[in-house]
Amino acid sequence: MPEISHVHLAVPELATLSRIFREGGAQSFPQWLSTEYGERARIDWYGMQGVLMINIGPPDDAARAGLWPRPWDDWTEPPRGVVLATVDAERAAEDLAPVIGADATWWETGEDPLLQATCRRTTLGRSVLVLAEPSGEGYVAACLARFGEGPVAVVLDGTTSVGKAVDANPVSDGPARYVRLGEPDAPTLIFLPASA
């Protein structure tokens, strides 16, 4: 079964990211995370394990290539989820079908006011993949304009006092805290409490 296994971030400096993880209850960086220096914070790519992608590849459209995961067989504890920005969630689900399976069920989760997007999710093993289609000019629209389609948020277990609290999120439907890593189009970390 395919499952999200890795997230790779580019960040201008690691101190802020380390502080956010410590405040969220992590003693060190999660095993599913790697980082490198980047002038602007962004999620460069995400990986998926349990997928054989020899005869299939990303869409020809370069703006959509970021939706496509990299094969990454890292059998550590996965993140709770990854949020992918897309201009068309139905088309993105079709693009991803060769990787996650044509029988994947996508559930509508409604409008997320902080992502400013309409979301739908599917469960992949222990993780959730969320497609976020902009519902107006806001966070997801800004990410799409700057980076094209692809990962914009990572969902993880933890609690933190920073960021913005919400009563519902697109992964667990329960409470969460959203922490932006800088600029208006920088990646978002979505912390879910243990009970979520």
- 3-class DSSP assignment, residue 46: strand
The CA distance from 31 to 42, in Å, is 18
Q: What is the pLDDT of residues 12-40, one digit of tens each?
A: 888 888 888 777 666 566 888 888 998 88
Q: What is the pLDDT of residues 116-172, one digit of tens each?
A: 999 999 999 889 999 999 998 999 999 999 999 999 999 998 888 888 999 999 999
The CA distance from 137 to 7, in Å, is 26
Contact assessment for residue 110 and residue 121, using Cβ atoms and an 8 Å cutoff: no
Task: Give the Cβ contact number of residue 136 at 10 Å.
Answer: 10
pLDDT at 13: 86
Task: Give the Cβ contact number of residue 183 at 10 Å.
Answer: 13
Average pLDDT over residues 39-68: 75
The closest alpha carbon to 32, from 77, 71, 73, 65, belongs to 77
Can you say whether the dihedral through the CA atoms of 93, 95, 101, 102 is positive or negative? Answer: positive
The overall average pLDDT reported for the chain is 86
Q: Is 91 left (phi over 0), alpha (psi -120 to 50) or beta?
A: alpha
At residue 42, φ and ψ (nearest 5 deg) are -165, 160
pLDDT at 52: 61
Contact assessment for residue 10 and residue 41, using Cβ atoms and an 8 Å cutoff: yes
Q: How far is CA 42 from CA 34, 73, 123, 125, in A?
A: 12, 22, 24, 25
Q: Which residues contact 142 (CB under 8 A, 6 or more apart)?
A: 184, 185
pLDDT at 61: 67
Contact assessment for residue 94 and residue 86, using Cβ atoms and an 8 Å cutoff: no
**Amino acid found at 100:** I
pLDDT at 58: 60
pLDDT at 14: 83
pLDDT at 101: 83
What pTM does this model have? 0.89
Task: Give the Cβ contact number of residue 104 at 10 Å.
Answer: 15
Q: What is the pLDDT of residues 62-108, one digit of tens each?
A: 677 788 787 776 667 788 999 999 999 999 999 898 888 878 899 99
